[in-house]
Amino acid sequence: MDLLPAETPELAKKHGFRSLKLLNVDLEQPLADKPFGVDYGKLDNGLTYYVRSNSKPKMRAALALVVKAGSVLEEEDERGVAHIVEHLAFNATTKYTNHDIVKFMESIGAEFGACQNAMTSADDTVYELFVPVDKPELLPQAISVLAEFSSEIRVSAEDLEKERGAVMEEYRGSRNANGRMQDSHWALMMAGSKYAERLPIGTEKVIRTVSAATVKHFYKKWYHLQHMALIAVGDFPNSESVVELIRTYFGQKSSANEPPGIPRFPVPSHDEPRFSSFIESEAAGSAVMISCKVPAQELKTIKDYRDLLVESMFLLALNQRLFKVSRRRDPPFHSCSAASDNLVNPIKAYVLTSSCKENGIIEALEAMLTELARIHLHGFSEREISIVRALLLSGIESAYLERDQIQSTSLRDEYVQHFLCNEPVVGIEFEAQLQKSLLPSISVAEVATYARKFGTTCSCVIKAIEPQSTVTLDDLKNTVAKVTSLEEGESISAWDEEQVPEEIVTVKPNSGSVDQQQEYADINVTELILSNGMRVCYKCTDFLDDQVLISGYSYGGLSELSETDYVSCSMGSTIAGELGKFGHKPSVLMDMLAGKRAEVGTRLGPYMRTFSADCSPTDLETALQLVYQLFMTNVEPREEEVKKVMEMAEEAVRAQERDPYTAFENRVREINYGNSYFFRPIRISDLKKVDAYKACEYFSNCFKDPSTFTVVVVGNLDLATACPLILQYLGGIPKPPVPILQFSRDDLNGLPFTFPDNIIREIVRKPMVEAQCSVQLCFPVEVKNGAMIEEIHFVGFLSKLLETKMIQVLRFKHGQIYSAGVSVFLGGNKPSRTGDVRGDISINFSCDPSMSSTLVELALDEVLHLQNEGPSDEDISTILEIEQRAHENGLQENYYWLERIIRSYQSRVYSGDLGSSFQIQEEARLKVRTSLTPSTSKSALQRILPFPCRKKYTVVILMPQTTRFQLLKSCFWESFPNSKYAVAIAGLTILSVALWRSPRSRH
């Protein structure tokens, strides 16, 4: 094979992807077994290690202990034990007790909580740490923790009892509609295999009753160093010193001389498709899934890699078609997508999933099967394959250009897969060469052959999901037979392609000019006032070589509308998106943007309307063209498209009405914010009144007057190229002769709501398939003008303090919850520079319904204790460390700088000098950090929250509907208000959960 000659990093970056030399490919050449770019080996005791120095992010390390032991290894009386072991690891080991590991993690800014730090699947368990390494003692201690997990987890009856409640709450949380649908589909896919009955979460019986002896037996039997890997990727001076640390902490440990081999559990194939109609009364909507199991092909040779590229091209091409079908005038489904996923070792699945309207299951299934049959008969067109080839090349080019900026967590994940699945790690340079060399040789016919893997004889499972039954299994079978007959008779026509314009902007605008320019050297930012009045601020960074972010905002949003216009105009962005807010239909624009990395979105908020873009430096012109088109397009409603949008919106409302959590959230908003039309759920009766013409007119006017907009651009900008493009496409937007939607920030309307003046405690009871319980405890917040900037920073610190303490008390001390969250809402304040800030702080958690009232009292007691006694020095140290580590990471990210610059413009202290506003905000942050002590925190809790906290709050609890006798026993006063239902109109996909994905339980 003709490999590239050695290049210096500077020369390679200068040449770029387009100058990469093509390879003389030998398809039979094996891919390297040893992973690229990593210090890789084994200790004498069998532990595999991977160590790599990587400077992104600076002074951080991503660690993992990977164990080839998951739930499939459990016996019947152990179902759920693999996951329980994972939980116990953080509770106590030989060296660390009483959740000392959690305290250590939090003390160094590595947060602990749900979906962090560990996960258990059917085949493996992975413990992850992301830690700072700017102090010499931190990395050794982190590796020491993982070494303890490998062989020293303490499993006592007391430990197990303390953790059962948290595991049980995680189990209960998995028993919602999505969880039940996922579990059902998993069992159907894995039928005939042990995997079918070994979901990682386990069974309620085992969680509640398993003995410590049984848990310890599983741990000792399967946790062996020969089946483990330690992975360390981070900003290390060198990898050798880290390998020595691994030897120090793992080298003296030993396992059984002959540990049991990891058995394989086959998943039987089947020629005849399996059919299922799953009725889920709480389902978000109707959906159809076609899943086909195939053996996962190991990547051993260049040919295997080429086959993977063919598969990727097929899935991309199919998804492009399915998107276009979903955008027809009368589409058979709301959305549909295809994917491949590794289910278990070594089985993968090709999955086609669609969400559809009620009573639309058969129509959706027929359309899905018909598109597959159309590809079987006619394949793809040359244009379709050229588009997906361009998409893949664009993706690998971006990865290549940012090869020196890969996140340590991403590299860690690659090595995890190498250890578990023997996935080759060949390095991005070689992979870029490989793709560039192979993609042009892949033919249209080759890509089309992959459609056969979706055949109904390929271990196929077809599943319908409905809130209420409308189809039978025979209906599903008959649909398959119908399409099969059409395909065999070659009665399905070829794909009819749309005409695609050559250019996004047909008539290029004349460039504007710069009226004013201001440099802010302290933050390396330049501000321009363009001739059309638009303010443009840019900051050049080198965080990512292939990223430029753009965000623009203008004051005056939905809060300025009358109540009668609100619903129609709030639908404007959704309707305009379907019609083509950039001057072209979405299905056409998709083809026009093929191979370009440029995405632009819009949002209509209460006080502002905004647009945002994410693009590569080479596609900056495309992104700016889309922004230009946004301002130049007058969206005209077309009856068919509007009808489709409104039907989908009505489906979404009905779906939300079935969801008990939506009823709960609606009632929380209703209690906390009153009957304000900004917070009141949209009902179907509201949708019937939507005026599409008014919606489109309002949306078009929102992005019409450039003089009202401030635009911030952050990223890898070549100013010689970028500035002329900014002047042409942003400066070239014509200023309208009459001002449109011009508002003074100080005169905007605030959101009309008032927090209750008294205590409200209420239970929302809803019918549930399985008992769920959610609690939201909410306190009003009003921050007075004056030391406003510091006070808002105090709110941020205190919310993290409250979250940390809730987990300590409700989980670690009482063992009754899985996780707790604290959220802050300060949206009650308009952007005025003089008014006060209104909002609330909410504590939320789920729990056993019978424990809800007790836990509310414990939460209130803890908040009151913090107000009266203040937090400990250790508590303050922890939240300061968490905030500082997040800040340090953020300083290395474009998104963080974009947000900080925008926040400085929108700050109440901004009066025309961005640098001054930025400095005042940073000084406020540092002032609060410096002043944060137990005493000042106590004062802030008294000042910002009601004091004492028990004098004013609301608590709303979602509970399963029950009998009248049980209602009388409730310790809460309960009213029965009229139920109101909400819908998030902006997202119209009815079912987005990837139901086929291999289930995991996370710590």
Give the integer Cα–Cα distance in Å for 614 and 857: 46
Residues in the chain, pLDDT under 70:
1-15, 112-116, 255-257, 828, 962-1003
Kindly list the distances between the CA atom of residue 741 and the CA atoms of 477, 697, 903, in Å, as whole numbers in the listed order: 56, 12, 22
Give the integer Cα–Cα distance in Å for 412 and 822: 30
Nearest partner of 124 among 418, 459, 350, judged by Cα: 418
Looking at the DSSP bridge assignments, the partners of residue 526 are: 519, 538
Reading the block at residue 453, the tokens are 């893997």
> Which CATH superfamily includes the segment(s) 520-730?
Metalloenzyme, LuxS/M16 peptidase-like (3.30.830.10)
- Whether domain 760-960 has CATH 3.30.830.10: yes
**Domains 274-406+418-489 and 520-730 in one fold:** yes
Looking at the DSSP bridge assignments, the partners of residue 539 are: 714
Residue range 405-447, pLDDT digits in tens: 999 999 999 999 999 999 999 999 999 999 999 999 999 999 9
Q: Which helix (H) or strand (E) holds 579?
A: helix 572-579
What confidence score (pLDDT) does residue 452 get? 83
Residue 19: alpha-carbon gap to chain centroid = 35
Reading the block at residue 898, the tokens are 């974009």
What confidence score (pLDDT) does residue 719 get? 95
Domain boundaries, the chain: 39-251, 274-406+418-489, 520-730, 760-960, 964-996
What confidence score (pLDDT) does residue 480 get? 95
Nearest partner of 672 among 974, 977, 954, 979, judged by Cα: 954
Asked if the bond preceding 266 is cis, omega within 30° of 0, the reply is no
Amino acid symbol at 22? L
Question: Where in the sequence numbering do the catalytic residues fall?
Answer: 86, 163
Give the integer Cα–Cα distance in Å for 51 and 240: 8
Which class for 942: exposed (0-12), middle (13-18), buried (19 or more C-beta within 10 A)? Answer: middle
Cβ atoms < 10 Å from Cβ of 114: 18
- pTM value is 0.89
* 558 neighbors 604 (Cβ within 8 angstroms): yes
Give the integer Cα–Cα distance in Å for 621 and 209: 63
For domain 39-251, the CATH class is: alpha beta
3-state secondary structure 247-309: HHHHCCCCCCCCCCCCCCCCCCCCCCCEEEEEECCCCCCEEEEEEEEEECCCCCEHHHHHHHH
Nearest partner of 616 among 505, 507, 722, 539, judged by Cα: 722
Amino acid symbol at 648? M
For domain 274-406+418-489, the CATH class is: alpha beta
Largest CA distance in the chain: 85
HSE on the CB side for 313, CA within 13 Å? 33
Which class for 251: exposed (0-12), middle (13-18), buried (19 or more C-beta within 10 A)? Answer: middle
Q: How do strand 228-234 and strand 48-53 relate by DSSP bridges?
A: parallel
Give the integer Cα–Cα distance in Å for 830 and 842: 21
Which class for 469: exposed (0-12), middle (13-18), buried (19 or more C-beta within 10 A)? Answer: exposed
Q: How do strand 525-530 and strand 514-520 relate by DSSP bridges?
A: antiparallel
What confidence score (pLDDT) does residue 1001 get? 59
Reading the block at residue 710, the tokens are 């401030």
Axis crossing angle, helix 934-944 with helix 788-806, rounded to the nearest 10:
100
What confidence score (pLDDT) does residue 991 get? 33
* 857 neighbors 789 (Cβ within 8 angstroms): no
Q: How do strand 760-766 and strand 954-960 relate by DSSP bridges?
A: parallel
What confidence score (pLDDT) does residue 681 get? 82
Amino acid symbol at 309? L
**What's the order of all strands across the beta sheet hosting 525-530?**
514-520, 525-530, 535-540, 709-715, 548-555, 608-615, 598-604
What confidence score (pLDDT) does residue 1002 get? 56
Reading the block at residue 668, the tokens are 């929380």
DSSP alpha helices (H): ranges in 403-545? 408-421, 428-438, 444-449, 473-488
Q: CA angle, corner 356, sides to 351 and 358, nearest 5?
A: 135
Kindly list the distances between the CA atom of residue 661 and the CA atoms of 55, 287, 426, 772, 775, in Å, as whole numbers in the listed order: 43, 20, 46, 9, 11
Quick check: helix, strand or coil at residue 217?
A: helix
What confidence score (pLDDT) does residue 65 get? 98
Axis crossing angle, helix 361-378 with helix 473-488, rounded to the nearest 10:
20
Q: How do strand 709-715 and strand 535-540 relate by DSSP bridges?
A: parallel
Kindly list the distances between the CA atom of residue 526 and the CA atoms of 529, 713, 901, 922, 948, in Å, as whole numbers in the listed order: 10, 10, 11, 19, 48
Spatial CB neighbours of 819, under 8 Å, sequence gap ≥ 6: 113, 114, 807, 811, 845
Kindly list the distances between the CA atom of residue 22 and the CA atoms of 30, 329, 440, 444, 778, in Å, as whole numbers in the listed order: 18, 45, 11, 21, 61
What confidence score (pLDDT) does residue 116 get? 58
Nearest partner of 438 among 620, 313, 561, judged by Cα: 313
